[in-house]
């Protein structure tokens, strides 16, 4: 290997400051070619129409004490473009602009946009990637929010893998994430500016293929939070986790992750904590007519309620789909969980929200894997604080792209 290649390799290694592992270059290439709708020379284009939240919502704000019904729809186009350059570089752009319509509450209408740019390359057993995400959306950021609020996100990352993805490889990654809430007030009573922050992540992951295309990984991640307007919330921490990823094309698909998260506040008046965390989503196809899915979330988040509050979320969902034929299916989903709010000062419990949602649906395939679905859903959240009690009923439809 000549000096130029050595210098280039060292620079790439030192710049490995972000985003979870780089993915196998040739697996990315295979997926792009397989999923593209339009193929011209080295360009692969995948346009899809997005239609969600179409229908009647009995309470667009979710909160029981400010109930407001309306007809809604989110309509947009998701355009994916990829360029494969001589089996050495892959460039991808995903642009997703969409508009949120409301029949009566015109003040709630909003234009949204999600953008991602990524570069993939490889050098021998090294796989390298860089990603940039920029989102400007008006939506619910997490389970604590009942009504939509506008926020901007900018996330960028680079990562480097060494080894063979079909056997064993090591990933080094890091990321810098920024979030800013541009709606100054939420529900007229809560200032969201104390949630504006920057995150720096550094991580290492050991990955081993255990059978077929199933991969197991052991990861450690260091993070640093810097709040833009409330530095008393700053802190650092670490996450240690064990994960398993199932192949994209199999009777079992998805991933699971379990681990522990520690938070060390820089404010001497706040207490540190060690919490379990994890997330996962699995799909299981049986007998060609049944598809079961399961997902869960165990994590903690800073609360908009107060700058010295956070909440633990524990939730899980299960569902089943039955295919009458290759064109018609019915489904049922149920989700339940709770949010437990605690003080960063002494760890005392200040509020508990228990929730569940239930939905039934019918889907009809139109073309390839694309179809339409009609859904009826109910959502209920009971809180120890009456002003945070939430509920709504929704009947509507959406376009599905994985029938």
Task: Name the pTM for this structure.
Answer: 0.87
Query: With 0-12 CB in 10 A as exposed, 13-18 as middle and 19+ as buried, what is 326?
Result: exposed
State mean pLDDT over 264-288. Answer: 93
Q: Label residue 367 by pLDDT band (50, 70, 90).
A: confident
- Indicate whether 4 pLDDT > 70: no
Could you tell me which residue, 124 or 14, shows the higher pLDDT? 124
| 296-311 residue pLDDT tens | 999 999 999 999 999 9
Q: Label residue 288 by pLDDT band (50, 70, 90).
A: confident
The proportion of the chain whose per-residue pLDDT surpasses 70, expressed as a percent, equals: 94
| 145-169 residue pLDDT tens | 999 999 999 999 999 999 888 889 9
pLDDT (0 to 100) of residue 220: 96
State mean pLDDT over 210-237. Answer: 92
State mean pLDDT over 123-140. Answer: 93
- Indicate whether 17 pLDDT > 70: no
Beta carbons of 162 and 22 less than 8 angstroms apart: no
pLDDT (0 to 100) of residue 124: 83
- Cα–Cα nearest to 118, from 152, 153, 83: 83
- Indicate whether 7 pLDDT > 90: no
Joined together, the tokens standing for residue 260 give: 């522990």
Beta carbons of 59 and 68 less than 8 angstroms apart: yes
State mean pLDDT over 340-368. Answer: 94
pLDDT (0 to 100) of residue 22: 53
pLDDT (0 to 100) of residue 336: 98
pLDDT averaged over every residue in the chain: 90
Give every CB contact of residue 298 below 8 A, 6+ residues apart in sequence.
276, 277, 278, 279, 313, 314
Tokens 């642009």 belong to residue? 95
- Indicate whether 18 pLDDT > 90: no
Beta carbons of 158 and 18 less than 8 angstroms apart: yes
């Amino acid at each position: 290997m000549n000096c130029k290649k050595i210098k280039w390799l060292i620079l790439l290694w030192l710049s490995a400051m972000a985003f979870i592992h780089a993915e196998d270059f040739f697996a990315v290439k295979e997926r792009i070619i397989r999923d593209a709708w339009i193929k011209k020379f080295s360009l692969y284009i995948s346009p899809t129409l997005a239609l969600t939240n179409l229908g009647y919502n009995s309470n667009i704000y979710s909160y029981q004490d400010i109930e407001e019904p309306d007809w809604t729809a989110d309509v947009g186009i998701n355009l994916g473009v990829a360029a494969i350059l001589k089996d050495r570089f892959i460039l991808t752009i995903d642009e997703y602009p969409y508009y949120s319509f409301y029949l009566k509450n015109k003040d709630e209408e909003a234009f949204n946009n999600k953008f991602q740019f990524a570069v993939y390359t490889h050098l021998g057993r090294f796989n390298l990637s860089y990603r940039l995400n920029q989102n400007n959306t008006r939506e619910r950021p997490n389970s604590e929010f009942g009504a939509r609020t506008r926020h901007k996100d900018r996330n960028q990352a680079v990562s480097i893998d060494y080894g063979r993805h079909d056997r064993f490889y090591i990933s080094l990654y890091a990321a810098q994430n920024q979030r800013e809430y541009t709606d100054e007030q939420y529900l007229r009573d809560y200032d969201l500016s104390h949630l504006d922050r920057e995150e720096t992540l550094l991580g290492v992951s050991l990955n081993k293929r255990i059978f077929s295309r199933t991969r197991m990984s052991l990861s450690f991640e260091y993070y640093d939070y810097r709040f833009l307007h409330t530095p008393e919330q700053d802190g650092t921490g670490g996450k240690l986790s064990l994960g398993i990823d199932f192949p994209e094309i199999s009777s079992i698909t998805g991933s699971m992750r379990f681990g522990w998260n520690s938070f060390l506040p820089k404010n001497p008046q706040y207490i540190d904590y060690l919490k379990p965390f994890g997330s996962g989503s699995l799909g299981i196809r049986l007998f060609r007519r049944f598809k079961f899915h399961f997902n869960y979330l165990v994590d903690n988040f800073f609360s908009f309620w107060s700058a010295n509050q956070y909440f633990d979320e524990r939730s899980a969902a299960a569902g089943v789909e039955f295919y009458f034929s290759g064109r018609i299916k019915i489904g049922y989903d149920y989700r339940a969980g709770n949010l437990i709010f605690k003080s960063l000062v002494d760890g005392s419990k200040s509020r508990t929200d228990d929730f569940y949602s239930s939905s039934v649906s019918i889907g009809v395939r139109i073309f390839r894997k694309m179809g339409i679905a009609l859904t009826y859903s109910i959502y209920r959240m009971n809180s120890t604080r009456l002003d945070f009690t939430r509920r709504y009923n929704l009947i509507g439809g959406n376009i599905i792209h994985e029938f």
